Structure 1
Amino acid sequence: MSTEPPAADEPVSAGELSARYDKFVVDLLGGIAYGELSGFERLSSDARYSPTLNDRAVLGKMAVAEFGHYEMVCGRLLAMGMDPELAMLPFQRMVDAFHERTRPADWHESLMKAYVVDAITEDFYAAIAERLDAETRGIIAKVRTSEEQTALLEGLLKKMLDEDPRLSSRLALWGRRMVGEALTQAQRIGDRHSFLVGLSPEGTQEEAAMEAVAIMAQLTRGHSRRMSRLGLTA
């Protein structure tokens, strides 16, 4: 039996493309599921910093929503015949290390982290979802933070900054650190799990690299708009 690799110009079979896409979707959903589970744990823990019971309830509501999203994605993985835990395990170490590096020192930093990191993560998955089948796109759309919760979080941050303008410079610096960490994390996960390569008809690293540059620019623009709404420099 020949062990030579196929010729460079040999077309990829439809079956191979389908298998590649299915693996890509499982990896993507596994990453999202663990991110949502981790988000639930993080927000539940960060709620202890809350200065008021109302503020604690806001983060608690967001944590409950994250857990609901986790269950939804796991349900989709089960429907695909996949074990959600096995799909999530490849992402556990990277996500846990990220949250360890970006542990907030207080309530103010906790809110800013949620505002920046959750939005960047969701924008990253949404950008990839544009290239997916309708059912997977629908699942990803459903796990996005609601506009109501985003408005609540933004309102808390604006109120906090209005009451203590001295926080502006510290939170602007913390926000810049968060966006840098979040973009690096998104790129690491995308590279390690060949996101974007799995969506390319040719499956080339060159095409994936161009897609990644475009997505990172899109994420940066979105972050700048959100920081501007708070009156902070991105």
Structure 2
Amino acid sequence: MSTPTPDSARDHRFLTDLLGVMAYSELSAFERLSSDARYAPTLRDRAVLGRLAVREFEHYELVCARLQEMGEDVEGAMVPFQRSVDHFHERTRPADWFESLMKAYVIDTVSADFYRSLIPRLDPATAALVEQVQASEEATEVLRERLKQALADDPRLASRLALWARRLLGEALTQAQRVAADHAFLGVQGSDAAGTGATGNGSPSNGVPAGTDPVRALLTSLATAHSRRMTMLGLAG
């Protein structure tokens, strides 16, 4: 059996970390959506979140299968991310049904943008998996339309949900920055990824022009996309 080269070992660690955080995030999303369905004002709305929860668990199983193909222990890959993901959800606990909807919408879309930004660094099999897991346009549309309807039924919700969405974005960007920096998801590590003016590697494989901070560029991109989505809802981004 050949000894892995430093590059191959580093790439394997990168993929394990990426799939580990994806797996635990999908499992957490399943638990969260299942729990939040209790707030639903109608059985139809409860079913909406129930279907989304099932989808998240199916995605969790897909990511687990890929980890097992790589010879990795699924639980071992997830554990390093358990505390930070749990902390994120504790800090963003929704107060009611409408905040649950907004959280599902914001986290679903921002997470998809984050993972898709990493696709240029992935092997074809893992890239295809990320595309499959993050291809959530149908679910996103369901959440978007339900939020639009809620805002049309009660325009007084607009200011509260806009403020809630901004808080969710801030927490999500903090989480993305921490994960990207701690696990070199953008090809930089530690203080080089902390947004302190470092230029980073700037390699084309990161999808970021040379001479720019890749983490800062990613956070800006995520915030811009979020703002566009809030505008589509008639809310200030």
TM-score (norm 1): 0.89
RMSD: 1.9
Which of 72, 77, 80 is the matching residue for 1:87?
77
What's the counterpart of residue 206 of structure 1? 200
Q: d(CA) in 1 for partners of 2:199 and 2:62?
A: 31
Q: Which moved more, 1:40-49 or 1:147-156?
A: 147-156
Letter of the 1:218 counterpart? S
| Superposition map of 1:15-26 within 5 A | 15-26=5-16
Does residue 149 of the first structure (1) align with residue 139 of the second (2)? yes
Which entry has the higher C-alpha Rg, 1 or 2?
Answer: 1
Letter of the 2:51 counterpart? K
Is the alpha carbon distance of 1:102 and 1:46 closer, same or farther for their aligned partners in structure 2, counting shifts above 3 Å?
same
1:198 deviation in Å?
Answer: 6.8
- After superposition, what is the alpha-carbon deviation per residue over 1:8-53, rounded to whole angstroms, capped at 9, x for unaligned? xxxxxx9211111110000000000000000000000000000000
| Superposition map of 1:66-145 within 5 A | 66-145=56-135
1:146 deviation in Å?
Answer: 2.5
Letter of the 2:37 counterpart? A
Q: d(CA) in 1 for partners of 2:161 and 2:143?
A: 14
Q: d(CA) in 1 for partners of 2:231 and 2:59?
A: 28
Unpaired stretches in structure 2, ≥5 consecutive residues: 190-197, 203-211
Q: d(CA) in 1 for partners of 2:199 and 2:17?
A: 18
Q: d(CA) in 1 for partners of 2:187 and 2:145?
A: 39
Q: Secondary structure at the match of 2:71?
A: coil
Letter of the 1:232 counterpart? L
TM-score (norm 2): 0.88
Which of 208, 214, 222 is the matching residue for 2:225?
222
Letter of the 1:33 counterpart? A
Does residue 189 of the first structure (1) align with residue 183 of the second (2)? no
Checking the alignment, whether the CA contact within 8 Å between 1:21 and 1:198 is kept in structure 2 is no
Q: Which moved more, 1:183-192 or 1:30-39?
A: 183-192
Q: Which moved more, 1:187-196 or 1:18-27?
A: 187-196
